[in-house]
Amino acid sequence: VNNRSRNAARSAGARQVHKQQTYQALLHAALHLMEDQSFSSLSLREVTREVGIVPTAFYRHFRDMEQLGLALVDESFDSLREMLRSARIEPMPDKHVYRHSVEILARYVHTRRLHFRFIVRERYGGISVVRQAIRRELRLFVSELATDLIRFPDFSRWSTEDVRMVAALIVNAMFATAEAILDVPAERPEAETEIIQTAEKQLRLVLLAVPHWRSSTPPIGA
Amino acid sequence: VNNRSRNAARSAGARQVHKQQTYQALLHAALHLMEDQSFSSLSLREVTREVGIVPTAFYRHFRDMEQLGLALVDESFDSLREMLRSARIEPMPDKHVYRHSVEILARYVHTRRLHFRFIVRERYGGISVVRQAIRRELRLFVSELATDLIRFPDFSRWSTEDVRMVAALIVNAMFATAEAILDVPAERPEAETEIIQTAEKQLRLVLLAVPHWRSSTPPIGA
DNA sequence: TGTACATCAGTGAACGCGCGTTCACTGATGTAC
DNA sequence: TGTACATCAGTGAACGCGCGTTCACTGATGTAC
Protein backbone atom coordinates (compact mmCIF):
# COMPACT_ATOMS: atom_id res chain seq x y z
CA VAL A 1 0.00 0.00 0.00
CA ASN A 2 2.74 2.37 0.98
CA ASN A 3 4.53 1.40 -2.22
CA ARG A 4 1.56 2.13 -4.38
CA SER A 5 1.09 5.59 -2.95
CA ARG A 6 4.76 6.38 -3.45
CA ASN A 7 4.55 5.32 -7.06
CA ALA A 8 1.44 7.41 -7.58
CA ALA A 9 3.28 10.40 -6.19
CA ARG A 10 6.31 9.75 -8.36
CA SER A 11 4.55 9.20 -11.67
CA ALA A 12 2.28 12.04 -12.71
CA GLY A 13 -1.31 11.58 -11.60
CA ALA A 14 -4.25 12.83 -13.66
CA ARG A 15 -4.47 15.97 -11.53
CA GLN A 16 -0.79 16.83 -11.99
CA VAL A 17 -1.01 16.25 -15.73
CA HIS A 18 -4.03 18.47 -16.04
CA LYS A 19 -2.43 21.22 -13.98
CA GLN A 20 0.64 21.10 -16.19
CA GLN A 21 -1.59 21.44 -19.25
CA THR A 22 -3.26 24.53 -17.84
CA TYR A 23 0.15 25.95 -16.97
CA GLN A 24 1.35 25.48 -20.54
CA ALA A 25 -1.93 26.89 -21.85
CA LEU A 26 -1.38 30.05 -19.81
CA LEU A 27 2.13 30.50 -21.22
CA HIS A 28 0.93 29.92 -24.75
CA ALA A 29 -2.10 32.18 -24.38
CA ALA A 30 0.13 35.02 -23.16
CA LEU A 31 2.53 34.60 -26.12
CA HIS A 32 -0.39 34.31 -28.52
CA LEU A 33 -2.07 37.48 -27.23
CA MET A 34 1.15 39.40 -27.78
CA GLU A 35 0.48 39.50 -31.52
CA ASP A 36 -0.64 43.14 -31.33
CA GLN A 37 0.44 44.23 -27.87
CA SER A 38 3.34 44.09 -25.46
CA PHE A 39 3.52 41.94 -22.37
CA SER A 40 3.13 44.90 -20.03
CA SER A 41 -0.24 45.81 -21.52
CA LEU A 42 -1.48 42.23 -21.20
CA SER A 43 -3.93 41.68 -18.35
CA LEU A 44 -4.30 38.67 -16.12
CA ARG A 45 -7.98 38.49 -17.11
CA GLU A 46 -7.18 38.48 -20.83
CA VAL A 47 -4.86 35.54 -20.39
CA THR A 48 -7.28 33.45 -18.33
CA ARG A 49 -10.14 34.35 -20.69
CA GLU A 50 -8.05 33.05 -23.60
CA VAL A 51 -7.37 29.81 -21.76
CA GLY A 52 -10.98 29.45 -20.71
CA ILE A 53 -10.55 29.50 -16.95
CA VAL A 54 -11.79 31.94 -14.34
CA PRO A 55 -9.39 34.82 -13.44
CA THR A 56 -8.84 33.61 -9.89
CA ALA A 57 -7.58 30.23 -11.11
CA PHE A 58 -4.51 32.07 -12.41
CA TYR A 59 -3.16 32.19 -8.85
CA ARG A 60 -2.94 28.39 -8.71
CA HIS A 61 -0.09 28.70 -11.24
CA PHE A 62 1.62 32.08 -10.77
CA ARG A 63 1.87 34.62 -7.98
CA ASP A 64 1.29 37.41 -10.50
CA MET A 65 1.86 38.33 -14.15
CA GLU A 66 5.52 39.09 -13.46
CA GLN A 67 6.14 35.42 -12.60
CA LEU A 68 4.44 34.35 -15.81
CA GLY A 69 6.74 36.75 -17.67
CA LEU A 70 9.81 35.14 -16.10
CA ALA A 71 8.54 31.68 -17.09
CA LEU A 72 8.21 32.97 -20.66
CA VAL A 73 11.82 34.20 -20.59
CA ASP A 74 13.01 30.73 -19.59
CA GLU A 75 10.89 28.98 -22.20
CA SER A 76 11.95 31.41 -24.94
CA PHE A 77 15.66 31.04 -24.26
CA ASP A 78 15.28 27.28 -24.41
CA SER A 79 14.29 27.83 -28.05
CA LEU A 80 17.33 30.03 -28.64
CA ARG A 81 19.68 27.47 -27.13
CA GLU A 82 18.12 24.77 -29.26
CA MET A 83 18.93 26.90 -32.30
CA LEU A 84 22.56 27.21 -31.22
CA ARG A 85 22.71 23.45 -30.74
CA SER A 86 21.36 22.95 -34.27
CA ALA A 87 24.08 25.19 -35.63
CA ARG A 88 26.70 23.17 -33.78
CA ILE A 89 25.42 19.76 -34.85
CA GLU A 90 24.45 20.32 -38.46
CA PRO A 91 27.26 19.75 -40.98
CA MET A 92 28.55 23.15 -42.07
CA PRO A 93 29.29 23.48 -45.77
CA ASP A 94 32.63 25.32 -45.85
CA LYS A 95 31.59 27.33 -48.86
CA HIS A 96 28.24 28.62 -47.60
CA VAL A 97 28.74 28.77 -43.86
CA TYR A 98 27.27 32.30 -43.54
CA ARG A 99 24.25 31.53 -45.65
CA HIS A 100 23.66 28.32 -43.78
CA SER A 101 23.91 30.01 -40.37
CA VAL A 102 21.43 32.69 -41.32
CA GLU A 103 19.10 30.04 -42.70
CA ILE A 104 19.14 28.18 -39.40
CA LEU A 105 18.20 31.47 -37.74
CA ALA A 106 15.37 32.07 -40.22
CA ARG A 107 14.09 28.54 -39.70
CA TYR A 108 13.95 28.95 -35.94
CA VAL A 109 12.33 32.36 -36.22
CA HIS A 110 9.49 30.61 -38.03
CA THR A 111 9.16 27.46 -35.95
CA ARG A 112 9.62 29.35 -32.66
CA ARG A 113 7.97 32.53 -33.85
CA LEU A 114 6.25 33.39 -30.56
CA HIS A 115 9.42 32.89 -28.52
CA PHE A 116 11.53 35.07 -30.78
CA ARG A 117 8.85 37.73 -30.85
CA PHE A 118 8.65 37.69 -27.07
CA ILE A 119 12.38 38.22 -26.60
CA VAL A 120 12.67 40.88 -29.29
CA ARG A 121 9.65 42.78 -27.93
CA GLU A 122 10.52 42.59 -24.25
CA ARG A 123 14.30 42.88 -24.48
CA TYR A 124 14.26 46.67 -24.22
CA GLY A 125 10.64 47.52 -23.79
CA GLY A 126 8.64 45.90 -21.09
CA ILE A 127 8.54 45.60 -17.36
CA SER A 128 11.79 45.85 -15.46
CA VAL A 129 11.92 42.36 -13.96
CA VAL A 130 11.42 40.67 -17.33
CA ARG A 131 13.89 42.99 -19.02
CA GLN A 132 16.55 42.19 -16.42
CA ALA A 133 15.94 38.46 -16.84
CA ILE A 134 16.29 38.72 -20.62
CA ARG A 135 19.44 40.79 -20.27
CA ARG A 136 20.93 38.14 -17.96
CA GLU A 137 20.04 35.28 -20.31
CA LEU A 138 21.34 37.23 -23.25
CA ARG A 139 24.72 37.69 -21.59
CA LEU A 140 24.91 33.93 -21.14
CA PHE A 141 23.84 33.45 -24.74
CA VAL A 142 26.63 35.75 -25.97
CA SER A 143 29.12 33.78 -23.87
CA GLU A 144 27.94 30.52 -25.39
CA LEU A 145 28.35 31.88 -28.89
CA ALA A 146 31.80 33.22 -27.93
CA THR A 147 32.76 29.73 -26.74
CA ASP A 148 31.71 28.36 -30.11
CA LEU A 149 33.61 31.04 -32.02
CA ILE A 150 36.84 30.57 -30.08
CA ARG A 151 37.16 27.07 -31.50
CA PHE A 152 37.74 28.48 -34.97
CA PRO A 153 41.42 28.94 -35.87
CA ASP A 154 40.99 32.65 -36.70
CA PHE A 155 40.13 33.34 -33.07
CA SER A 156 42.82 31.15 -31.54
CA ARG A 157 45.02 34.02 -30.38
CA TRP A 158 42.18 36.39 -29.42
CA SER A 159 41.46 37.56 -25.89
CA THR A 160 38.23 36.29 -24.34
CA GLU A 161 37.00 39.85 -24.10
CA ASP A 162 37.48 40.51 -27.80
CA VAL A 163 35.72 37.29 -28.81
CA ARG A 164 32.80 38.35 -26.66
CA MET A 165 32.83 41.71 -28.42
CA VAL A 166 32.44 39.96 -31.77
CA ALA A 167 29.82 37.58 -30.39
CA ALA A 168 27.79 40.51 -29.06
CA LEU A 169 27.98 42.23 -32.44
CA ILE A 170 26.74 39.07 -34.16
CA VAL A 171 23.95 38.50 -31.64
CA ASN A 172 22.73 42.07 -32.11
CA ALA A 173 22.70 41.69 -35.87
CA MET A 174 20.96 38.34 -35.41
CA PHE A 175 18.16 39.87 -33.35
CA ALA A 176 17.71 42.75 -35.76
CA THR A 177 17.38 40.13 -38.51
CA ALA A 178 14.90 38.11 -36.46
CA GLU A 179 12.81 41.22 -35.90
CA ALA A 180 12.87 42.05 -39.60
CA ILE A 181 11.75 38.51 -40.50
CA LEU A 182 8.95 38.61 -37.91
CA ASP A 183 7.80 41.84 -39.47
CA VAL A 184 7.60 40.60 -43.08
CA PRO A 185 4.03 41.34 -44.23
CA ALA A 186 2.04 38.27 -45.19
CA GLU A 187 1.42 39.67 -48.67
CA ARG A 188 5.14 40.11 -49.45
CA PRO A 189 6.87 36.88 -48.41
CA GLU A 190 9.68 37.54 -50.89
CA ALA A 191 10.90 40.36 -48.60
CA GLU A 192 12.38 37.67 -46.40
CA THR A 193 14.89 36.76 -49.09
CA GLU A 194 16.34 40.27 -49.06
CA ILE A 195 16.55 40.27 -45.28
CA ILE A 196 18.39 36.97 -45.29
CA GLN A 197 20.80 38.20 -47.96
CA THR A 198 21.55 41.34 -45.96
CA ALA A 199 22.08 39.32 -42.77
CA GLU A 200 24.39 36.96 -44.60
CA LYS A 201 26.46 39.86 -45.91
CA GLN A 202 26.68 41.40 -42.45
CA LEU A 203 27.92 38.13 -41.00
CA ARG A 204 30.39 37.71 -43.83
CA LEU A 205 31.65 41.27 -43.40
CA VAL A 206 32.21 40.90 -39.66
CA LEU A 207 34.07 37.60 -40.00
CA LEU A 208 36.06 38.98 -42.94
CA ALA A 209 37.67 41.43 -40.54
CA VAL A 210 38.64 38.79 -38.00
CA PRO A 211 41.97 37.67 -39.56
CA HIS A 212 43.03 41.33 -39.83
CA TRP A 213 42.17 42.24 -36.24
CA ARG A 214 44.78 43.51 -33.85
CA SER A 215 43.42 44.37 -30.45
CA SER A 216 44.29 47.78 -29.05
CA THR A 217 44.63 46.12 -25.65
CA PRO A 218 46.74 43.07 -26.56
CA PRO A 219 47.16 40.19 -24.09
CA ILE A 220 50.27 40.14 -21.92
CA GLY A 221 53.35 39.05 -23.85
CA ALA A 222 52.16 40.31 -27.21
CA VAL B 1 -6.43 98.31 -37.35
CA ASN B 2 -6.52 95.50 -39.86
CA ASN B 3 -2.72 95.59 -39.86
CA ARG B 4 -2.47 95.28 -36.14
CA SER B 5 -4.72 92.25 -36.02
CA ARG B 6 -2.71 90.58 -38.78
CA ASN B 7 0.49 91.20 -36.87
CA ALA B 8 -1.04 89.83 -33.69
CA ALA B 9 -2.03 86.67 -35.56
CA ARG B 10 1.41 86.32 -37.10
CA SER B 11 3.51 86.83 -33.99
CA ALA B 12 2.67 84.48 -31.15
CA GLY B 13 0.16 85.88 -28.70
CA ALA B 14 0.26 85.05 -25.02
CA ARG B 15 -2.38 82.37 -25.50
CA GLN B 16 -0.45 80.66 -28.29
CA VAL B 17 2.77 80.78 -26.29
CA HIS B 18 1.08 79.27 -23.26
CA LYS B 19 -0.53 76.52 -25.32
CA GLN B 20 2.83 75.65 -26.82
CA GLN B 21 4.30 75.43 -23.33
CA THR B 22 1.61 73.01 -22.21
CA TYR B 23 2.16 70.96 -25.37
CA GLN B 24 5.87 70.69 -24.62
CA ALA B 25 5.10 69.91 -20.98
CA LEU B 26 2.91 67.00 -22.09
CA LEU B 27 5.68 65.59 -24.29
CA HIS B 28 8.24 65.96 -21.54
CA ALA B 29 5.97 64.51 -18.86
CA ALA B 30 5.37 61.43 -21.01
CA LEU B 31 9.11 60.90 -21.58
CA HIS B 32 9.82 61.54 -17.94
CA LEU B 33 7.22 59.03 -16.74
CA MET B 34 8.80 56.37 -18.96
CA GLU B 35 11.62 55.92 -16.45
CA ASP B 36 10.11 52.69 -15.14
CA GLN B 37 7.44 51.84 -17.68
CA SER B 38 6.81 51.64 -21.39
CA PHE B 39 4.75 54.08 -23.41
CA SER B 40 1.93 51.61 -23.88
CA SER B 41 1.38 51.30 -20.15
CA LEU B 42 1.32 55.06 -19.74
CA SER B 43 -2.14 56.52 -19.16
CA LEU B 44 -3.53 59.81 -20.37
CA ARG B 45 -4.43 60.68 -16.79
CA GLU B 46 -0.88 60.03 -15.54
CA VAL B 47 0.52 62.40 -18.13
CA THR B 48 -1.91 65.24 -17.40
CA ARG B 49 -1.48 64.70 -13.65
CA GLU B 50 2.28 65.11 -14.09
CA VAL B 51 1.77 68.34 -16.04
CA GLY B 52 -0.78 69.63 -13.57
CA ILE B 53 -3.77 69.97 -15.84
CA VAL B 54 -7.11 68.23 -15.81
CA PRO B 55 -7.38 65.03 -17.93
CA THR B 56 -9.86 66.54 -20.37
CA ALA B 57 -7.47 69.37 -21.25
CA PHE B 58 -5.31 66.72 -22.96
CA TYR B 59 -7.72 66.75 -25.90
CA ARG B 60 -6.87 70.39 -26.66
CA HIS B 61 -3.45 69.11 -27.76
CA PHE B 62 -3.78 65.52 -29.00
CA ARG B 63 -6.61 63.39 -30.30
CA ASP B 64 -5.37 60.50 -28.15
CA MET B 65 -2.20 58.99 -26.66
CA GLU B 66 -1.22 57.53 -30.04
CA GLN B 67 -0.83 61.04 -31.47
CA LEU B 68 1.32 62.05 -28.52
CA GLY B 69 3.46 58.96 -29.22
CA LEU B 70 3.96 60.03 -32.83
CA ALA B 71 4.98 63.53 -31.69
CA LEU B 72 7.55 61.89 -29.42
CA VAL B 73 8.94 59.92 -32.35
CA ASP B 74 9.45 63.13 -34.33
CA GLU B 75 11.03 64.96 -31.43
CA SER B 76 13.32 62.04 -30.60
CA PHE B 77 14.60 61.64 -34.13
CA ASP B 78 15.40 65.35 -34.24
CA SER B 79 17.87 64.57 -31.45
CA LEU B 80 19.35 61.69 -33.45
CA ARG B 81 19.77 63.84 -36.53
CA GLU B 82 21.43 66.53 -34.48
CA MET B 83 23.92 63.89 -33.34
CA LEU B 84 24.68 62.91 -36.93
CA ARG B 85 25.17 66.58 -37.77
CA SER B 86 27.64 66.91 -34.89
CA ALA B 87 29.60 63.96 -36.21
CA ARG B 88 29.75 65.60 -39.65
CA ILE B 89 30.78 69.02 -38.47
CA GLU B 90 33.26 68.24 -35.71
CA PRO B 91 36.87 67.86 -36.87
CA MET B 92 37.66 64.16 -36.99
CA PRO B 93 41.07 63.20 -35.66
CA ASP B 94 42.36 60.68 -38.22
CA LYS B 95 43.94 58.58 -35.55
CA HIS B 96 40.99 58.20 -33.18
CA VAL B 97 38.01 58.42 -35.52
CA TYR B 98 36.26 55.38 -33.98
CA ARG B 99 36.80 56.51 -30.42
CA HIS B 100 35.60 59.99 -31.30
CA SER B 101 32.46 58.74 -33.06
CA VAL B 102 31.49 56.58 -30.11
CA GLU B 103 32.13 59.49 -27.75
CA ILE B 104 29.75 61.69 -29.72
CA LEU B 105 27.16 58.94 -29.34
CA ALA B 106 27.78 58.68 -25.60
CA ARG B 107 27.53 62.44 -25.21
CA TYR B 108 24.15 62.54 -26.97
CA VAL B 109 22.85 59.56 -25.03
CA HIS B 110 23.43 61.66 -21.92
CA THR B 111 22.21 65.05 -23.11
CA ARG B 112 19.21 63.55 -24.93
CA ARG B 113 18.73 60.69 -22.53
CA LEU B 114 14.92 60.67 -22.63
CA HIS B 115 14.82 60.70 -26.43
CA PHE B 116 17.27 57.82 -26.79
CA ARG B 117 15.45 55.85 -24.14
CA PHE B 118 12.15 56.43 -25.91
CA ILE B 119 13.42 55.14 -29.26
CA VAL B 120 15.26 52.16 -27.77
CA ARG B 121 12.24 51.17 -25.66
CA GLU B 122 9.56 51.62 -28.31
CA ARG B 123 11.50 50.46 -31.37
CA TYR B 124 10.40 46.85 -30.98
CA GLY B 125 8.10 46.91 -28.02
CA GLY B 126 5.22 49.25 -27.91
CA ILE B 127 2.05 50.05 -29.78
CA SER B 128 1.95 49.34 -33.49
CA VAL B 129 1.53 52.88 -34.80
CA VAL B 130 4.53 54.18 -32.86
CA ARG B 131 6.63 51.16 -33.79
CA GLN B 132 5.88 51.68 -37.49
CA ALA B 133 6.78 55.37 -37.24
CA ILE B 134 10.09 54.55 -35.55
CA ARG B 135 10.86 51.90 -38.16
CA ARG B 136 10.20 54.42 -40.94
CA GLU B 137 12.40 57.09 -39.35
CA LEU B 138 15.08 54.52 -38.69
CA ARG B 139 15.19 53.54 -42.36
CA LEU B 140 15.73 57.20 -43.25
CA PHE B 141 18.38 57.44 -40.55
CA VAL B 142 20.24 54.43 -41.97
CA SER B 143 20.10 56.05 -45.43
CA GLU B 144 21.54 59.27 -44.05
CA LEU B 145 24.40 57.41 -42.43
CA ALA B 146 24.94 55.48 -45.69
CA THR B 147 25.17 58.79 -47.57
CA ASP B 148 27.83 59.92 -45.11
CA LEU B 149 29.77 56.66 -45.41
CA ILE B 150 29.78 56.64 -49.19
CA ARG B 151 31.91 59.80 -49.19
CA PHE B 152 34.82 57.84 -47.74
CA PRO B 153 37.27 56.47 -50.35
CA ASP B 154 36.93 52.88 -49.08
CA PHE B 155 33.27 52.86 -50.13
CA SER B 156 33.75 54.58 -53.47
CA ARG B 157 33.17 51.46 -55.57
CA TRP B 158 30.48 49.95 -53.35
CA SER B 159 26.87 49.41 -54.41
CA THR B 160 24.30 51.55 -52.60
CA GLU B 161 22.71 48.41 -51.23
CA ASP B 162 25.95 47.19 -49.66
CA VAL B 163 26.69 50.55 -48.06
CA ARG B 164 23.21 50.47 -46.54
CA MET B 165 23.96 46.99 -45.24
CA VAL B 166 27.02 48.33 -43.40
CA ALA B 167 25.12 51.39 -42.19
CA ALA B 168 22.36 49.18 -40.79
CA LEU B 169 24.95 47.03 -38.99
CA ILE B 170 26.52 50.14 -37.46
CA VAL B 171 23.17 51.64 -36.45
CA ASN B 172 22.18 48.41 -34.71
CA ALA B 173 25.45 48.29 -32.80
CA MET B 174 24.98 51.97 -31.99
CA PHE B 175 21.55 51.38 -30.48
CA ALA B 176 22.74 48.39 -28.49
CA THR B 177 25.50 50.64 -27.15
CA ALA B 178 23.03 53.42 -26.35
CA GLU B 179 20.87 50.95 -24.46
CA ALA B 180 23.84 49.66 -22.50
CA ILE B 181 24.86 53.21 -21.55
CA LEU B 182 21.30 54.07 -20.49
CA ASP B 183 21.36 51.00 -18.32
CA VAL B 184 24.59 51.78 -16.44
CA PRO B 185 23.70 51.71 -12.74
CA ALA B 186 24.24 55.02 -10.94
CA GLU B 187 26.58 53.37 -8.45
CA ARG B 188 28.93 52.00 -11.13
CA PRO B 189 29.59 54.86 -13.57
CA GLU B 190 32.90 53.29 -14.61
CA ALA B 191 30.91 50.58 -16.44
CA GLU B 192 30.35 53.13 -19.19
CA THR B 193 34.06 53.11 -20.06
CA GLU B 194 33.93 49.40 -20.84
CA ILE B 195 30.81 49.84 -22.96
CA ILE B 196 32.44 52.62 -24.94
CA GLN B 197 35.57 50.55 -25.45
CA THR B 198 33.54 47.60 -26.73
CA ALA B 199 31.54 49.84 -29.05
CA GLU B 200 34.74 51.38 -30.38
CA LYS B 201 36.17 47.95 -31.10
CA GLN B 202 33.01 46.86 -32.86
CA LEU B 203 33.08 49.93 -35.08
CA ARG B 204 36.76 49.42 -35.79
CA LEU B 205 36.20 45.76 -36.63
CA VAL B 206 33.39 46.47 -39.08
CA LEU B 207 35.29 49.20 -40.89
CA LEU B 208 38.44 47.05 -40.91
CA ALA B 209 36.62 44.63 -43.19
CA VAL B 210 35.54 47.30 -45.66
CA PRO B 211 38.69 47.44 -47.84
CA HIS B 212 38.61 43.63 -48.14
CA TRP B 213 34.94 43.40 -49.12
CA ARG B 214 33.86 41.92 -52.38
CA SER B 215 30.14 41.83 -52.87
CA SER B 216 28.60 38.52 -53.89
CA THR B 217 26.25 40.51 -56.11
CA PRO B 218 28.70 42.89 -57.81
CA PRO B 219 27.42 45.91 -59.74
CA ILE B 220 27.07 45.57 -63.52
CA GLY B 221 30.41 45.81 -65.26
CA ALA B 222 32.43 44.36 -62.40
C1' DT C 1 -11.17 -3.93 -3.55
C1' DG C 2 -14.00 -0.47 -0.63
C1' DT C 3 -14.47 3.34 2.40
C1' DA C 4 -13.50 7.68 4.75
C1' DC C 5 -10.93 11.65 4.59
C1' DA C 6 -7.54 15.17 2.50
C1' DT C 7 -5.98 17.84 -1.24
C1' DC C 8 -6.37 21.37 -4.42
C1' DA C 9 -7.52 23.18 -9.46
C1' DG C 10 -11.00 25.71 -10.71
C1' DT C 11 -15.58 28.55 -9.49
C1' DG C 12 -18.36 32.74 -8.83
C1' DA C 13 -19.66 36.76 -6.29
C1' DA C 14 -17.93 40.87 -4.69
C1' DC C 15 -14.81 44.89 -3.81
C1' DG C 16 -12.63 49.26 -4.73
C1' DC C 17 -9.85 51.63 -8.27
C1' DG C 18 -8.05 54.12 -12.20
C1' DC C 19 -9.13 54.42 -16.70
C1' DG C 20 -10.80 57.14 -21.34
C1' DT C 21 -14.26 59.96 -22.78
C1' DT C 22 -18.74 63.07 -22.74
C1' DC C 23 -20.46 67.34 -21.64
C1' DA C 24 -21.64 71.99 -20.24
C1' DC C 25 -18.89 75.50 -18.11
C1' DT C 26 -15.51 79.54 -17.08
C1' DG C 27 -12.70 83.25 -17.69
C1' DA C 28 -8.51 85.06 -19.67
C1' DT C 29 -6.91 86.39 -24.23
C1' DG C 30 -7.76 88.05 -28.88
C1' DT C 31 -10.39 90.71 -32.48
C1' DA C 32 -13.16 94.39 -34.62
C1' DC C 33 -14.30 98.90 -34.85
C1' DT D 1 -7.76 104.12 -26.19
C1' DG D 2 -12.42 101.84 -24.91
C1' DT D 3 -16.07 98.67 -25.66
C1' DA D 4 -18.58 94.59 -27.17
C1' DC D 5 -18.17 90.17 -28.81
C1' DA D 6 -15.56 85.72 -30.17
C1' DT D 7 -12.26 82.30 -29.24
C1' DC D 8 -10.58 78.51 -26.84
C1' DA D 9 -7.24 76.34 -23.07
C1' DG D 10 -8.40 74.53 -19.15
C1' DT D 11 -12.27 73.00 -15.50
C1' DG D 12 -15.10 69.68 -12.93
C1' DA D 13 -18.78 66.39 -12.61
C1' DA D 14 -20.24 62.24 -14.36
C1' DC D 15 -20.41 57.77 -16.94
C1' DG D 16 -19.58 52.95 -17.77
C1' DC D 17 -15.78 49.57 -18.01
C1' DG D 18 -12.12 46.26 -17.20
C1' DC D 19 -8.89 45.61 -13.97
C1' DG D 20 -6.33 42.77 -9.82
C1' DT D 21 -7.38 40.63 -5.77
C1' DT D 22 -10.28 38.68 -1.58
C1' DC D 23 -12.99 35.06 -0.13
C1' DA D 24 -15.80 31.02 0.76
C1' DC D 25 -17.08 27.29 -2.22
C1' DT D 26 -17.25 22.74 -5.07
C1' DG D 27 -16.21 18.47 -6.66
C1' DA D 28 -12.92 15.50 -8.94
C1' DT D 29 -8.57 13.28 -7.81
C1' DG D 30 -5.38 11.30 -4.46
C1' DT D 31 -4.19 8.90 0.00
C1' DA D 32 -4.49 5.72 3.96
C1' DC D 33 -5.87 1.63 5.69
Q: Using one digit for the tens of pLDDT, what is the confidence trace for A157-189?
A: 999 999 999 999 999 999 999 999 999 999 999
What's the rounded Cα separation, in Å, for the pair A79 and A109?
10
Q: What would the pLDDT profile of A97-133 be if each residue is shown by its tens digit?
A: 999 999 999 999 999 999 999 999 999 999 999 999 9
What's the rounded Cα separation, in Å, for the pair B192 and A88?
34
pLDDT on residue B95: 84
Of B192, B202, B144, nearest to B172 by C-alpha is B202
Provide the residue type at A158 as one letter: W
Contact A124 B127 (CB under 8 A): no
Contact A165 B202 (CB under 8 A): yes
What's the rounded Cα separation, in Å, for the pair B132 and B70?
10
What's the rounded Cα separation, in Å, for the pair B174 and A170?
13
What's the rounded Cα separation, in Å, for the pair B78 and B70?
13
Angular region, A221: left φ>0, alpha ψ -120 to 50, beta rest: left
Q: Is B129 in contact with B63 (CB distance < 8 Å)? A: no
User: Which residue ranges have CB below 7 A from strand D?
Assistant: A 1-2, 5, 8-9, 13-16, 43-46, 49, 55-56, 58-59, 64-65; B 1, 15, 18-19, 22, 53-57, 60-61
What's the rounded Cα separation, in Å, for the pair B200 and B96?
10
Q: What would the pLDDT profile of B37-94 be if each residue is shown by its tens digit?
A: 999 999 999 999 999 999 999 999 999 999 999 999 999 999 999 999 999 999 888 8
Contact A40 B36 (CB under 8 A): no
